[in-house]
Amino acid sequence: MQDQESSGRWDSLGSRDANSRIEAMENIHLEVMRKVEAIGPIPAPAPSPPASGSPPSSELNHILAHLLMLSKRCPFEDVRERCIRLLQSVQDLGVRIPRPLGNGPSRFIPEKEILQVSKVDARTQSIFEDAFAALGRLDNISLVMGFHPQYLESFLRTQHYLLQMDGPLSLHYRHYIGIMAAARHQCSYLVNQHVENFLHFGGDPKWLNGLGEAPQKLQQLGELNKILAHRPWLLTKEHIERLLKAEEHSWSLAELIHAVVLLTHYHSLASFTFGCGIMPEIHCEGGHTFRPPSLSQYCVCDIANGNGHANHHDDPFGNEVSGKGRCVEVLMERMKQLQECRDDEEASQEEMATRFEREKTESMLVVTAEDEECVPPRDISRHFEDPSYGYKDFSRRGEHVPTFRVQDYSWEDHGFSLVNRLYPDVGQMLDEKFQMAYNLTYNTMATHKDVDTSMLRRAIWNYIHCMFGIRYDDYDYGEINQLLDRSFKIYIKTMVCSPEKTTKRMYESFWRQFQHSEKVHVNLLLMEARMQAELLYALRAITRYMT
User: pLDDT tens digits, residue range 371-408?
Assistant: 445 555 556 766 666 666 777 766 555 556 678 999 99
Specify the pLDDT at position 1: 40
Q: What pTM, to 2 d.p., does this model score?
A: 0.86
Q: What is the DSSP string of 306-360?
A: T-SGGGTT--TT---TTTTSS-HHHHHHHHHHHHHHHHH----HHHHHHHHHHHH
- Taking the C-alpha atoms of residue 264 and residue 537, their distance in angstroms, rounded to an integer, is 11
| Cβ-based burial of 267 (10 A; exposed 0-12, middle 13-18, buried ≥19) | buried
| Host H or E run for residue 59 | helix 58-73
pLDDT at 315: 39
Cβ neighbors of 56 (< 8 A, separation 6 or more) are 39
DSSP state of 335: H
Strand partners, 106: 278
Given this model, what pLDDT does residue 341 score?
77
List the chain residues with pLDDT less than 70. Answer: 1-8, 40-57, 294-326, 343-345, 360-361, 363-379, 381-388, 393-401
What is the set of active-site residues?
Answer: 187
Q: How far is CA 66 from the centre of its chain?
A: 22
**Average predicted confidence (pLDDT) for the chain:** 85
